Chain A
């Protein structure tokens, strides 16, 4: 039984992180979203995978290779043109018989994946608090009647979770599917066609997490970290305080005065301290440097990045290969305590959060004593000069001196 995972999308609403990686490769708690799905699927018993790739496919391929690292077989198919979910799934036609399909950018739990595996001709459902944002599903006695597009007044809070169990016949329905009003071939339309003559079972999932905007990554990060088990793989000097659940990678050096409040995960080859304060729900990637007099709270820091001297980083996401100059600081709370608004792709969006710091793309450098206001988005390869004050949306390759 093969598992097809759709990993071709760009995820424009995750800019600037997705300027340099496909959405499924964004790490949460130090593992790419796609990797969580891979691990959970392996735990559910799957051994063969097909990744449908497209946008920046090399990032997926270079990381996962042929699957040897996880003792499974991973194969790839290139979607070439972003024509919709049904089109993506059709790429796998020559390689599968009965199979399950899941959206690579939504995290599914292993028990739920197992349930879908056990039920031929099924699809996952989930109850949400904000069904207006999703396609809702009409069911009757566990059978799928119809999947509806996003509507203003949804009549149910049950949504399409994005995981399915198909047989080869689905490809016939996909061939008959027409372009939607969005101009794409949607698997939901194919399923609606199938539901007219065949019985599809709706299975309610227990766990489901999707991420649309960068701040959702912080929620997902917090949730995953809360479930992790402690493990310390490194040398720790004296005068280090570790409270709660903390995972530390190999070769990571923790120096005097480091104070870590879990849950926190720190990758391999990092240099932490001396005298730094790392607070809960923080993920730090590999080869990072958190230095003297730094405080990091509820943030995600990707590989090879440095928060090296006298910095504060709170409720933020920092891309790969970033370097914060000494004294660079992040504001994460408005003085009037109102919700924080962020501009993504020029559009203003209410994060509905009181606390949100910055989102940095890859390769961003900030000068000494630079100041980044709440909700600032800085595109990859940008340069923030010494003492600069930054807010709003900064596009990639910008110089703010």
Chain B
């Protein structure tokens, strides 16, 4: 969602704000702005990337300020709609991450009182409400203003008349306090602050914080002070550089031979033939599990769907995969259930809500995430890290394959605990796992074959992806990747479903990507391809290296090296990622920051 940052200290505020905003850019980037109090309260806003805003700011004196990078929810992308938003007298500036649900009514009321609105944002309402309630004390004005608001928010407010404080408030939108020496910070997430301090205090919902240069005070809604402990963050969240790759996404695709390895590091032993997780996870997976629920959003939902096939095949336990936003309303809850939340950032609001609900119902909760210290790791019983390093490109690539592999290891572990898998079979899987980095590297080296196919697809208006069994969720993911970054309409289907409707959409100009592995679904897939071809479209098959049959049926073939049928999903995913990347690249799309998308959706 949006990224927010506040600084009160001894350094030049504008430099610190811009530095931290750059680390937050992945959260939202259609516009950015800062407000700094020096002799006066000055505001700078620009549409486009933060580097554009940086160029506009002169040598600014002032040691207190707030900054924002925006992902539009209300109102189009314009300079007026960018934050910070101000009160009519321009004395109060605020920034906001979240959605005000009743903003229309509030806006009407304020307009009736004669207030002129300059933007279309819901945020501006808050600025005027604070100004209305302002009587020499900023925090009181903020508290009173927030009483009228329904919705989610993380707000930072500053006032020209009280140039020594920043007031922050949080409700269902992340806000973290960074404690420094003679300086303090507020930010949407920890990585933004880590360069300057590793001491944080977490704000919880409905809490207010007053940040001065030397002090941080936290209050509840009744202005009763709350004492909080400092947490020392031990990790070192280095900013990833593209290092010569033209896009983060490409670099992250190429990261996969390494990130796949990192999933097994310290967890898989070939000589001892076993899988070992940290104690909390081992305990969680050890006692009888009757059902497994995987909750996730977006690409993580698809890795959950792939995981379902793997877990059911290896353990026989029924697996339900649900969209997090739906789980909280319709999900089944049970003490013998293991609920696995899959979230790259650990902050996805919908998934967090689902996990909380699961926990409240007495379910066991396990989280698979890439970010240590994230909210998800704190609210679940145990967590397994994908250890992939930061993923900056908005379209998930390496975290997708790592998530599937963690689910695979989890399935193996449960299977071992159930006594369901023999030592030899386990050893076979371990060897397959260890071969994966090599196979992925091979695909990366032979990526020219994918570039050729991308040229075929780049002018299409619509592309279909089909697969059966474990390849069905891969077809969904392939379509999502293509959609996300090349803006070509794409849809994934279970191959058997085409004839029940979607066939009507097939024409000569809608290529179909068919995913085939040599297993029990192979013959049916060949038949499906025949049906598709009969209706005109070109068929691009993603097939195994030694599959000679497919050449007779498909127009183009992209090959991947064979592996265990349960693990072919990994090389296939890499092919689908490269396909989407190459198509988007040929179309000159903005790959790392696709229009209208944000990396981690923290609003619901």
Contact = CB atoms under 8 A, between A and B. Distances in A.
Contacts of A53: 181
B195 A77 contact: no
A183 B181 CA distance: 26
Nearest to A53: B181
Nearest to B195: A80
Nearest to B10: A94
A78 B196 contact: yes
Contacts of A95: 10, 182
A61 B195 CA distance: 18
A58 interface: yes
B181 A57 contact: yes
A75 interface: yes
Contacts of A78: 180-181, 183, 196-197
A58 B182 contact: no
A77 B199 contact: no
Contact of A76 (B182, B195, B196, B232): B182
A76 B199 contact: no
Nearest to B230: A58
Interface string A330-370: 00000000000000000000000000000000000000000
Interface string A28-64: 0000000000000000000000000100011001000
Contacts of B198: 58
B179 to A, nearest CB: 10
A76 B181 contact: yes
B169 to A, nearest CB: 26
A57 B34 CA distance: 29
A53 B198 CA distance: 13
B10 A77 contact: yes
Contacts of B197: 78
Majority secondary structure of chain A interface residues (helix, strand, loop or mixed): mixed
Interface residues of A, number: 12
Contacts of B180: 78
B387 to A, nearest CB: 16
Interface string B475-491: 00000000000000000
A58 B181 CA distance: 10
Contacts of B195: 80-81
A225 to B, nearest CB: 33
B196 A80 contact: yes
Give chain B's interface residue range (CB within 8 Å of chain A): 10 to 19
Majority secondary structure of chain B interface residues (helix, strand, loop or mixed): loop
B232 A58 contact: yes
Nearest to B181: A76
A77 B232 contact: no
Nearest to B63: A94
Interface in A106-147: none
Interface in B173-203: 180-183, 195-199
Contacts of A76: 181-182
Contacts of B196: 78, 80
B230 to A, nearest CB: 9
A61 B181 contact: yes
Nearest to B214: A75
A120 B471 CA distance: 77
Contacts of A58: 198-199, 232
Interface string A76-89: 11101100000000
Nearest to A93: B10
B285 to A, nearest CB: 24
Contacts of A81: 195
B199 A75 contact: no
A53 B232 CA distance: 16
A191 B196 CA distance: 28
A76 B10 CA distance: 12
Contacts of B232: 58
A95 B10 CA distance: 9
A61 to B, nearest CB: 7
Interface string B1-39: 000000000100000000000000000000000000000
A210 B198 CA distance: 29
A380 B10 CA distance: 36
A53 B180 CA distance: 11
Contacts of B183: 78
Nearest to A94: B10
Interface string A228-239: 000000000000
A80 B7 CA distance: 15
A383 B231 CA distance: 28
Question: Which among A77, A78, A80, A81 has the highest number of chain B CB atoms within 10 Å?
Answer: A78
B23 to A, nearest CB: 13
A61 B182 CA distance: 12
Contacts of A80: 195-196
Contacts of B182: 75-77, 95
Contacts of A57: 181
A57 B182 CA distance: 13
A13 to B, nearest CB: 21
A76 B181 CA distance: 5
A400 B196 CA distance: 37
Contacts of A75: 181-182
Contacts of B181: 53, 57, 61, 75-78
A94 B196 CA distance: 18
A53 B196 CA distance: 12
Interface string B152-182: 0000000000000000000000000000111
A75 B9 CA distance: 13
A93 B112 CA distance: 51
A78 B181 CA distance: 6
Question: Which among A61, A77, A81 has the highest number of chain B CB atoms within 10 Å?
Answer: A77
A81 B238 CA distance: 13
A77 B182 CA distance: 7
B93 to A, nearest CB: 24
Nearest to A57: B181
A75 B195 CA distance: 20
Interface string B213-249: 0000000000000000000100000000000000000
A61 B199 CA distance: 12
B477 to A, nearest CB: 37
Nearest to B232: A58
Contacts of B10: 77, 94-95
A53 B182 CA distance: 12
Contacts of A94: 10
19 contacts: A53-B181, A58-B199, A58-B232, A61-B181, A75-B181, A75-B182, A76-B181, A77-B10, A77-B181, A77-B182, A78-B180, A78-B181, A78-B196, A78-B197, A80-B195, A80-B196, A81-B195, A94-B10, A95-B182
Given A81-B195, A95-B182, 19 more contacts: A53-B181, A57-B181, A58-B199, A58-B232, A61-B181, A75-B181, A75-B182, A76-B182, A77-B10, A77-B181, A78-B180, A78-B181, A78-B183, A78-B196, A78-B197, A80-B195, A80-B196, A94-B10, A95-B10
Interface of A: 53, 57-58, 61, 75-78, 80-81, 94-95
* Top 6 A-B residue pairs of the complex, sorted by shortest distance between their CB atoms: A76-B181, A78-B181, A94-B10, A77-B181, A80-B196, A78-B180
